[in-house]
Homo-oligomer: A and B are copies of this chain.
Amino acid sequence: MKTFDLSGYLSRNRKLVDDALATVFDEFDRQRELVQAMTHSLMAGGKRVRPALALATADALGADPLIALPASCAIEMIHTYSLIHDDLPGMDDDDLRRGVPTCHKQFSEATAILAGDGLLTHAFHILAAPMTCFKVFPDAETRLILVEKISAAAGINGMVEGQMLDMQAEKNPENLPSDSPGVLTHLKKIHRHKTGAMIEVSVASGAISAGADPDALNALGTYAQNIGLAFQVMDDILNVIGDPKIMGKAAGTDALHDKMTFPAILGLEESKAFSRQLVADALEALDSYGEKEFKKNSEPLRAIAAYIINRKR
């Protein structure tokens, strides 16, 4: 049996998303510093994992994947804003991101704050008022549900709270649970908010855009929860064993900052085993939904799950 060409699939989808994002910003004068700062970070060559998940989910459900493109772009804009704000001097104070200077390094701190605010705001705008750059888009009722779900995942009970929990854990490690199971539970809570919520809503948005039934939403939700956590476990692992040249960012920084990570709590080998188990659970969730057609169509989702723990960056 021929192996699925994930690399080619991701490249094609990546081009779809990059082209759509570029077209979204064609509406604006590119000479404006605000627009430059937004696109600097947005087009800096992220992995586009979240859009890929949304598009692959629409594929899995036999829908035209383009139906998930507006949500994909909105989610990538929200992801990018969170990176811009996370990199700020008042937060993680990072100089490099996706291999290029962070937004506040390239422009200024104020510009980076505003570029993040602009991306977050415009994400909801393109959902509410889809541009002509999207050839197809969900109907109004579905788009309102997308605004609801994506704002929930990005907000107070989702990503923003995850950033807060992460920061509090770093600042006040004395407030963390003192036993290993307690720390592990807390670490999972952080990641379920910080990265998990947006990965889950990427899959959910693809499904909602494609008009998924409750059973599909349920199976895909379990898939997403598991790969979301696997993604973070692997991020922690890569921070230990990754190649800075391939990753476009420094390695070993977590240990240096004595950060609470899966390798630090579970050890490196057990973290790897944990990530493999999570991916196995994700695939099982897809199997449980398991119509024949779905099995074939969900090949990209399965390949992405495998990629998450095999990636080098």
Contact = CB atoms under 8 A, between A and B. Distances in A.
Contacts of A111: 164, 167
14 contacts: A28-B157, A34-B160, A88-B113, A90-B113, A91-B113, A114-B163, A118-B156, A118-B160, A118-B161, A122-B156, A124-B124, A125-B151, A141-B141, A144-B147
Interface in A99-141: 104, 108-114, 116-118, 120-122, 124-125, 127-129, 140-141
Given A129-B148, A151-B122, A168-B33, A160 B89 contact: no
Nearest to A127: B147
Interface string A160-204: 110110011000000000000000000000000000000000000
Given A144-B147, A151-B124, A156-B35, A90 B91 contact: no
Main secondary structure of the interface of A (DSSP, over half): helix
A132 to B, nearest CB: 15
B125 A155 contact: yes
B122 A120 contact: no
Interface of A: 28, 32-35, 38, 81-82, 85, 88-91, 104, 108-114, 116-118, 120-122, 124-125, 127-129, 140-141, 143-145, 147-148, 151-152, 154-157, 160-161, 163-164, 167-168
Contact of A144 (B38, B91, B143): B143
A243 to B, nearest CB: 30
Nearest to A160: B118
Q: What is the total number of copies of this protein in its complex? A: 2
Given A88-B90, A111-B164, A114-B163, A121 B156 contact: yes
A129 B141 CA distance: 12
Given A156-B38, A160-B114, A148 B125 contact: yes
Contacts of A156: 28, 34-35, 38, 118, 121-122
Contact of A152 (B125, B164, B167, B168): B125
A193 to B, nearest CB: 11
Contact of A114 (B108, B118, B141, B164): B164
Contacts of A125: 147-148, 151-152, 155
Interface centre among A89, A122, A129, A147 (most CB of B within 10 A): A147
